Amino acid sequence: MRQITSKFSNKILLSLLAAGSLSGITSVPAQASSHREAPFITRHPKVDGTDFYMFRSYEANRSAFTTLIANYAPLQEAYGGPNYYSMDPDALYEIHIDNVGDGKEHLTFQFRFSNTNKDAQFTVGGKQVSIPLVINGGAIDGVNPAGLNVRETYTITMVTGDRRSGKSQAVTNANGGATVFDKPVDNIGNKSIPDYAGYAAKHVFSVNIPGCATPGKVFVGQRKDPFVVNLGETFDLINIKAPATAFDPNAEKAGHDDLADKNVTSIEMEVPTACLTAGSETVIGGWTTASLRQGRLINPTPNSSKTSKEGGAWTQVSRLGMPLVNEVVIGLKDKDQFNHSKPSGDGQFLTYVTNPTLPALVEVLFGSAGVKAPTNFPRNDLVAAFLTGIKGVNQPANVVASEMLRLNTATPVSATQNRLGVIGGDSAGFPNGRRPGDDVVDIALRVVMGRLCKLSIGCVPADAPAGSIDFTDGAYLDSSFFDNSFPYLKTPIAGSLKH
């Protein structure tokens, strides 16, 4: 690493660093938190998990609940008609909870989607003819309205124990007991959906969760992409503001959000915390996955409902717990394998955490300014951050090292959130769970350069000469970007404005 000294090489490396990705060395572009982060998943955007959030609900009078958010289908253009961004009916989307610390799922919420072509028709010259518009043939203002041409629905199954062999029970609508829920159509535009926020709110359902005395909530639908990152200037040969406050006191707000005009599809649940924990253990771990069938036969004579035949066992193709792991920790050759793996098998990736390459790159890039990588090996501070949780913050009593987002449900909700979470003095923030307003890019850059050593977590201050430097991508994020009630994420950007 230290032999990379040419000015051109340094520029390329810095552009990759500031983007938060090492996989940009290849021809496959990496985008944002986990947007297109591994070669295989770029071919299957509908099952590409982008971000996972898990936090104590901070909506008024809801602190006894935990909110789970799994985002999929990245880089959605608001005007992406006529098909827009439905979920994959041939896929299995899951949110897993480990409530004993052994690296295995003990609760899983499974989501399956279906699309129904309602075949809206117009009378033209005395004949009934199917309309060409894929989604809508009239105004859309409620759940499954007449003007909606394609109805997208989903079911939720809770599995206790192993995700494939455990006990399965349906999550039902608390109002009537239905097992099928409607997903709102994407934000086509203000003429088709004059009040999208009100329309989407009708798709927040109160649900009965097996074993829970108190109902939870669910919402699945398009949202404004909550992730914030400065990509464009970075890839323009570092046409970016200073990447650390040591170089520019205003660096944290010097960039811009290249996802500001992008939407994403969110799977959201608010679950009574008591239904997620087990016994006296207050720490839970969570992650989301998506799986496809092993086999696919393409139908040579497709109709509107069946263009392929899927079969075989479910095969996991996407995985996301802690943000940025597959981007800045896992080596390129293992990115697809990481997406396929379970936390219980994370021993195969341990060297990427104990001997990370990213800090060495940062030293190469900023060595002339006095920046040095941490010197403690193995990097036990990163083991705590990524694999076990931090002792006294979010580490289970009997933890098995494995990568997942860990939340101590006993930590009180913060009256005022700090965007830097734990390293900013806010114990209810990342990496103790993850709230939408936690600026995980800035946090991760500072942690890999040894900020936890400065807090004597897994190492000592002398191990991290640059641990006090406030590295940043310049794209600012805090809790003011989001709503203060479920589903928290903002209304998606409209495809057009009403004229």
pLDDT tens per residue across span 271-281: 999 999 999 99
- Specify the pLDDT at position 23: 33
First vs last Cα of the chain: how many Å apart?
56
φ/ψ (deg, to 5) at 340: -90, -15
- Closest by CA to 157, choosing from 205, 116, 114, 112, is 112
- Specify the pLDDT at position 120: 78
Contact 321, 330 (CB under 8 A): no
Quick check: bond before 243 cis, omega within 30?
no
Quick check: bond before 82 cis, omega within 30?
yes
Compute CA 474 distance to the chain's CA centroid, rounded to the nearest angstrom: 20
Q: What is the mean pLDDT of residues 13-25?
A: 34
- Give me 378's structure tokens: 């193995």
Q: Tell me the pLDDT band of 33, cut-offs 50, 70 and 90.
A: low
Paired with 270 in beta bridges are 67, 217
- Give me 101's structure tokens: 């610390």
The number of residues making up the chain comes to 499
Query: What secondary structure does DSSP assign to 411-427, as a single string?
Result: SPPPSS--TTGGGGT-T
What confidence tens digit (pLDDT) does each residue in 267-308 have? Answer: 999 999 999 999 999 999 999 999 999 998 988 888 756 788
Q: Tell me the pLDDT band of 206, cut-offs 50, 70 and 90.
A: very high
- Specify the pLDDT at position 343: 95
- Specify the pLDDT at position 473: 83
- Specify the pLDDT at position 231: 65
Paired with 96 in beta bridges are 108, 287
The count of other CB atoms within 10 Å of the CB of residue 405 is 25
**Whether residue 29 has pLDDT greater than 50:** no
Query: What secondary structure does DSSP assign to 427-452, as a single string?
Result: TTSTTBSB-TT--HHHHHHHHHTTHH
- Specify the pLDDT at position 236: 52
CA angle at 467 for the pair 466 and 468, rounded to the nearest 5°: 95
Q: Tell me the pLDDT band of 9, cut-offs 50, 70 and 90.
A: very low
Min mean pLDDT across 13-27, 301-315, 322-336, 359-373 is at: 13-27
- Give me 147's structure tokens: 């003007």
φ/ψ (deg, to 5) at 208: -95, 120
Q: What is the mean pLDDT of residues 464-484?
A: 92
- Specify the pLDDT at position 312: 94
Return d(Cα 488, Cα 187) in angstroms, integer: 17
- With residues binned 3-state (H G I as helix, E B as strand, rest as coil), the percentages for the chain, rounded to 5, are 20, 25, 50
- Give me 111's structure tokens: 């989501």
- Specify the pLDDT at position 203: 98
**Whether residue 12 has pLDDT greater than 90:** no
- Closest by CA to 108, choosing from 166, 174, 53, is 166
Q: At what angle do helices 358-366 and 440-448 cross, to 10 degrees?
A: 80
- Specify the pLDDT at position 493: 93
Q: What is the mean pLDDT of residues 231-254?
A: 67
Regarding predicted confidence, which is higher, 223 or 242? 223
Min mean pLDDT across 2-6, 81-85, 305-309, 342-346 is at: 2-6
- Specify the pLDDT at position 246: 81
Mean confidence (pLDDT) of the chain: 87
Compute CA 420 distance to the chain's CA centroid, rounded to the nearest angstrom: 18
What confidence tens digit (pLDDT) does each residue in 106-143 have? Answer: 999 999 999 988 777 878 899 988 877 767 767 788 99
On whether the pTM is more than 0.95, the answer is no
Q: What percent of the chain has pLDDT over 70?
A: 88
Q: Quick one: which H or E segment has residue 65?
A: strand 65-77
Q: 114: helix, coil or strand?
A: strand
- Specify the pLDDT at position 18: 39
What confidence tens digit (pLDDT) does each residue in 385-443 have? Answer: 999 999 999 999 999 999 999 999 999 999 999 999 999 999 999 999 999 999 998 99
What confidence tens digit (pLDDT) does each residue in 309-329 have? Answer: 889 999 999 999 999 888 878
- Note the helical H segments in 178-283: 196-201, 232-235
Q: 289: helix, coil or strand?
A: strand
- Specify the pLDDT at position 37: 64
- Specify the pLDDT at position 499: 52
Q: Tell me the pLDDT band of 232, cut-offs 50, 70 and 90.
A: low
- Specify the pLDDT at position 316: 95
